[in-house]
């Protein structure tokens, strides 16, 4: 058990922005919202999965919508409203909160309802990164029901999805509701048991993003290389370094879609890297060769400061380093790849593990 303090929020935001692979919502905005909650209500308790009890009711909360909209239409307390709506519908009171994904502001979103309801957060999530669609959660891949779900906006509107054919249909309905709610909303899922969390979640992910953020902040203080500091904490590799020379980004159907082209510098001079994204970075091609693809992580950071750059903040001229990290093992099974591997995003290629050597 540990507690999230106000100082921890900056580290969590940095680390979650990195593992968010470009998506999950703007981590800086998420940090500001979480900071206000902690200032009002004090630090939030974080529980290890080993500290959960058999009779616990763990509610997953998260944001849904296009990150490009989220930086203009800032979420408020929607995740708390969604928590109360799902409690009322199921008749079960939550005993803990868990994140839908550890990327971007979604890693910080549980702090809002946890702080307001006086509940702890579980050190785990349903992705170990960020993904653009609701059904792309390890919870659902390994048997946790995807409904009922409550979707709420900042005006007080609530939509309940009480039944669906599968998690993909839950995504379709929730996405349609979110678009009508202005492009961003928050949701809560039916309570999970401790056993479900322990067997289907990506464990210790909140601790990991905090360690990544701590490493970057310490490197800045000591004037060391933040990229090396990141790789010392979490095994990965530098895929590319260079300058953004082209960007095509559109907000459509509730997603930020497009591609970014990076022109190589230093040892990558004369090469180009193209990254395609749907909220999150999905595939990286060095010239024409695929060098990293989902479910492995493609993370763009500022070369000097190690600051994560999400898809809605990409700009021409940024000097960036592209990092690759292996995806969680739960995504490497046939079931995991069918849900969130290359074919799930329309790529007719076989997944191959990221080479770390």
pLDDT digits 0-9 by tens, 61-74: 999 988 778 778 88
Q: Which of 4-13, 25-34, 68-77 has the lowest mean pLDDT?
A: 68-77
Element (H, E) at 280: strand 280-286
Mean pLDDT of the chain: 95
Architecture of domain 227-345: Beta Barrel (2.40)
List, in order, residues 6 or more apart from 35 with CB less than 8 Å away.
6, 9
What per-residue confidence (pLDDT) applies to 67?
Answer: 75
- At 228-252, the pLDDT tens digits run 999 999 999 999 999 999 999 988 8
Measuring CA to CA, which residue among 352, 330, 356 is closest to residue 129? 330
CATH annotation of 2-203? 3.40.1610.10
**pLDDT-derived band of residue 355, with 50, 70 and 90 as boundaries?**
confident
How large is the average pLDDT for residues 40-57? 97
How large is the average pLDDT for residues 200-205? 98
Q: Which two tokens stand for residue 247?
A: 């960007």
Q: Model-level pTM? A: 0.94
- At 303-338, the pLDDT tens digits run 999 999 999 899 999 999 999 999 999 999 999 999
Whether 85 contacts 8, CB under 8 Å: no
Measuring CA to CA, which residue among 254, 108, 139 is closest to residue 185? 254
What per-residue confidence (pLDDT) applies to 128?
Answer: 97
What per-residue confidence (pLDDT) applies to 166?
Answer: 96
Distance from C-alpha of 146 to C-alpha of 137, rounded to nearest angstrom: 9
List the domain boundaries for the chain. Answer: 2-203, 227-345
In this model, does residue 188 exceed pLDDT 90? yes
Measuring CA to CA, which residue among 161, 136, 28, 137 is closest to residue 82? 161
What per-residue confidence (pLDDT) applies to 60?
Answer: 98
Rg (CA), the chain: 19
Give the length of the chain: 357
What per-residue confidence (pLDDT) applies to 98?
Answer: 98
Buried b (16+ CB within 10 A) or exposed e, 260-290: bbbbbbeebeeebbebbbbbbbbbbbbeeee
How large is the average pLDDT for residues 264-282? 95
Distance from C-alpha of 74 to C-alpha of 71, rounded to nearest angstrom: 6
In which region does residue 274 sit, left (phi positive, over 0), alpha (psi from -120 to 50) or beta (all else)? beta
In this model, does residue 357 exceed pLDDT 80? no
**pLDDT-derived band of residue 54, with 50, 70 and 90 as boundaries?**
very high
Whether 300 contacts 22, CB under 8 Å: yes
What per-residue confidence (pLDDT) applies to 26?
Answer: 87
């Amino acid at each position: 058990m540990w507690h999230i303090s106000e100082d921890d929020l900056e580290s969590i935001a940095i680390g979650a922005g990195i593992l968010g692979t470009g998506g999950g919502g703007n981590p800086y905005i998420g940090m500001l919202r979480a900071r206000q909650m902690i200032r009002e209500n004090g630090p939030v308790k974080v529980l290890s999965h080993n500290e959960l009890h058999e009779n616990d009711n763990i509610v997953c909360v998260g944001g849904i919508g296009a990150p490009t909209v989220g930086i203009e239409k800032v979420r408020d307390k929607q995740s708390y409203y969604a928590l109360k709506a799902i409690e009322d519908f199921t008749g079960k009171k939550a005993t803990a909160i868990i994140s839908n994904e550890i990327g971007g502001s979604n890693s910080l979103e549980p702090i809002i309802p946890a702080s307001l309801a006086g509940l702890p957060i579980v050190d785990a999530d349903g992705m170990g990164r960020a993904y653009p669609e609701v059904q792309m959660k390890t919870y659902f891949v390994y048997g946790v029901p995807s409904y009922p779900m409550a979707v709420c906006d900042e005006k007080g509107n609530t939509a309940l999805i009480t039944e669906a054919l599968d998690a993909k249909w839950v995504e379709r309905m929730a996405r349609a509701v979110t678009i009508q709610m202005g492009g961003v909303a928050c949701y809560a899922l039916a309570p999970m048991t401790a056993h479900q969390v322990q067997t289907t979640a990506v464990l210790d992910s909140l601790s990991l993003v905090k360690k990544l953020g701590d490493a970057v902040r310490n490197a800045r203080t000591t004037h060391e290389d933040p990229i090396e500091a990141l790789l010392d904490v979490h095994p990965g590799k530098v895929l590319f370094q260079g300058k953004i020379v082209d960007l095509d980004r559109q907000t459509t159907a509730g997603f930020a879609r497009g591609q970014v082209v990076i022109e190589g510098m230093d040892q990558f001079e004369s090469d180009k890297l193209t990254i395609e994204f749907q909220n999150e970075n999905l595939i990286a091609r060095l010239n024409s060769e695929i060098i990293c693809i989902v479910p492995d992580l493609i993370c763009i950071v500022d070369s000097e400061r190690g600051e994560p750059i999400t898809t809605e903040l990409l700009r021409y001229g940024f000097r960036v380093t592209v990092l690759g990290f292996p995806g969680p093992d739960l995504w490497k099974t046939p079931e995991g790849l069918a849900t969130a591997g290359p074919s799930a995003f329309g790529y007719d290629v076989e997944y191959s593990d990221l080479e770390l050597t």
